């Protein structure tokens, strides 16, 4: 994404998140911009062609500074499951984007285990703030009257992510071959277990989101 921490007095992005909220301005970042850098182009090539482009390690560090200081409000995957055939096209014809939904939480939980984030920061970035910003009712918190949408994570589980683990229909991920500690092991939607230990546990279901 290439955001550098703004200088004091910047007219483009206030250093006070509260004042930006009053102006209706929010900022998000995708996991691939937090963990991938230009160094990864050598072996991933078009498979990490995204918009905005993957940048330098210095830019990645800058994004983490923005995230920790509160200048970034939410984590958004920008999920784009293009096929291998599409990604293997010549650079100018290959589509931009990577599959990101299924690996967002392992990446962030691994960061919690490494001391880079707290679990409460992950909850704020992925659950509470998105619901607040988009005014989604009964979502984002564990409270009486809210929908029972929950994720159970095993913070001690450590494993390598392989291509066999990819659930997205595109069948690939830029994170295959990488090891992460901290994995979701159960997902509950509206009080019903829909995912457990790597497998979908029931037919897809859901309700229209209320605002």
Residues 49 and 96: beta-carbon distance below 8 Å? yes
Active site residue 78: yes
Are 71 and 17 a contacting pair, CB within 8 Å? yes
**From CA 70, how far away is CA 107, in angstroms rounded?**
19
Residue from 39, 40, 73, 78 carrying the catalytic annotation: 78
Which residues, other chains included, contact 114 with Cβ-Cβ below 8 Å and sequence gap of 6+? none
Strands in the chain per DSSP E: 28-29, 74-75, 150-160, 179-189, 192-196, 199-200
Dihedrals φ, ψ of 179, to 5°? -105, 140
Tokens encoding 161: 């992510």
Longest dimension (CA), the chain: 53
- Between CA 170 and CA 161 the distance in angstroms is 16
Return the active site residues. 78
């Amino acid at each position: 994404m290439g955001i550098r921490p703004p200088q004091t007095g910047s007219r483009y992005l206030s250093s006070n998140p509260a004042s930006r909220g009053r102006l209706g301005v929010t900022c998000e970042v995708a996991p691939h911009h937090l963990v991938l850098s230009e160094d990864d182009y050598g072996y991933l090539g078009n498979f990490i062609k995204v918009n905005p482009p993957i940048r330098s390690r210095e830019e990645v560090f800058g994004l983490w500074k923005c995230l920790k200081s509160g200048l970034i409000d939410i984590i958004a995957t920008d999920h784009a499951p293009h096929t291998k055939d599409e990604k293997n096209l010549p650079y100018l014809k290959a589509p931009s984007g990577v599959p990101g939904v299924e690996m967002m939480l392992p990446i962030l939980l691994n960061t919690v285990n490494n001391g880079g984030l707290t679990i409460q920061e992950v909850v704020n970035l992925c659950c509470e703030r998105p619901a607040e910003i988009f005014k989604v009712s009964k979502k984002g918190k564990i409270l009486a009257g809210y929908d029972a949408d929950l994720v159970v994570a095993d913070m001690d589980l450590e494993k390598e992510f392989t291509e066999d683990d990819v659930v997205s229909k595109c069948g690939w991920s830029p994170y295959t071959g990488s090891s992460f500690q901290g994995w979701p092991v159960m997902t509950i939607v509206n009080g019903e277990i829909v995912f457990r230990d790597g497998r979908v546990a029931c037919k897809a279901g859901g309700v229209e989101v209320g605002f």
